[in-house]
Copies of this chain bind each other. A is one copy, B any other.
Amino acid sequence: MQNYVHAIPTKVYFGKGQIERLPEALAAFGKRVLLAYGGGSIKRIGLYDKIMALLHAGGFTVTELSGIEPNPRIESVAEGVRLCKENNIDVILAVGGGSTIDCSKAIACGVFYEGDDLWQMIVTSGGFSKALPLVDVLTLSATGSEFDGGGVISNMTLNEKLGAGLTYPAVSICDPTYTFTVSPYQTAAGSADIMSHIFEGYFSREDDCELSDGIAETILKTVMKCTPIALQDPENYSARANLMSCSSVACSGIPEYGKEDTGWPCHAMEHELSAYYDITHGVGLAILTPRWMRYILKKDPTALPRFVRFAKNVFSLTGADEGALAREAIDKLEAYFKSTGIPMTLQEVGIGPEHIEDMAAHAIQVGRLDRAFVPLTKEDLAAIYRMCL
């Protein structure tokens, strides 16, 4: 078990009606608010009106930044920074899923960025001295951005999508009822994202982390139990609430306590897909994950024991043939993703072989995949992409 640091300053208000805490949460930082959101779903569900009513009653001044993209772009970050500076914003209020929160984190840091090129702030996770306070209202269970300090920003000009260490939300308001109207496609994709955050740490060489491995397995089982319920019965509070808790805890660092840095290989590969094709992050992860598993299991026989643990503890598989157990677990995972309605090939999401070499080369360049559970080369990544076609 390796050393770790736990430091999450975020206060989470979880459950029905927690939006009533919003005015107090914001007022701790000031009255001038940048309200950041995406494509308008928060208007459809009445959340925009509810929040505006609370803000007006509380005497807040609101500047709006709308239209933040599903894969948020550096141009939106720049626009948010401009609005914050022009309007002397005290606190950013992000209302949405991980895209809106990630973009808002970058804006919060960008206000204090000392360089000329905000993209360099993302590339280096640095160059800012502090950050504006950030409060969010979560509307999608997926990225865990409500409970971590990272953010992922895209630069479509450069075909780059990069994760950066930015800032933690001061307060996250997590009301599962706001996810009742999330589409089946986005529900399934969000769940795949949660699971991927677990897989990236779970497949590791540190095999004495009983607590974190057990928590990781619990999250995987909980997501696979609750997602089909949420798909069948979108207003099932228990299912939506468990998924929302899983989203946060998956990114809390707790399921990785004591683990080495594995370089998060599936995220590295998926960021290339999104950067080139702007696809839904969770869908890309679901397509990649079973293929990555099959590939590394074949490449490195020492990976087998971890897959056997996965098979036994997550899928309750039994049997003496360890190789068969591992393969059956991967098949079951792929079948699970498929059962939630995720298109499980790249072709189905409009991706062909045209950029495979470029994506593989770039993922190797920006990633740390030499330290992955099974270290990966450019050729390995290209082979995994081809398995997904």
Contacts and interface: CB of A to CB of B under 8 A. Distances in A.
Contacts of A10: 6
The range of chain A's interface size is 35 or more
Contacts of A242: 1, 208-211
Interface stretch (A113-121, A218-226, A317-325): A218-226
Nearest to A8: B8
B15 A245 contact: no
B1 A7 contact: no
Nearest to A13: B5
A221 B211 CA distance: 9
A208 B238 contact: yes
Contacts of A257: 14, 245
A15 B206 CA distance: 14
A152 interface: no
A26 interface: no
A28 to B, nearest CB: 13
B245 A212 contact: yes
Nearest to A171: B7
Contacts of A225: 210
B9 A4 contact: no
A85 interface: no
Nearest to A147: B6
Contact of A6 (B2, B5, B11): B11
Nearest to A221: B214
A217 B225 CA distance: 17
Given A9-B9, A14-B257, A218-B218, A211 B3 contact: no
A254 interface: yes
A211 B141 CA distance: 14
A237 interface: yes
Contacts of A258: 14-15, 241, 245
A215 interface: yes
A89 interface: no
Nearest to A216: B218
A339 interface: no
A303 interface: no
A41 interface: no
Given A1-B238, A1-B241, A254-B254, A246 B15 contact: no
18 contacts: A1-B237, A1-B241, A2-B15, A3-B14, A4-B14, A5-B12, A5-B14, A6-B10, A6-B248, A8-B8, A14-B257, A208-B242, A210-B221, A211-B245, A211-B246, A214-B219, A215-B249, A254-B254
Given A211-B218, A214-B219, 12 more contacts: A4-B14, A5-B11, A5-B13, A6-B10, A208-B241, A208-B242, A210-B226, A210-B238, A211-B222, A211-B246, A214-B222, A218-B218
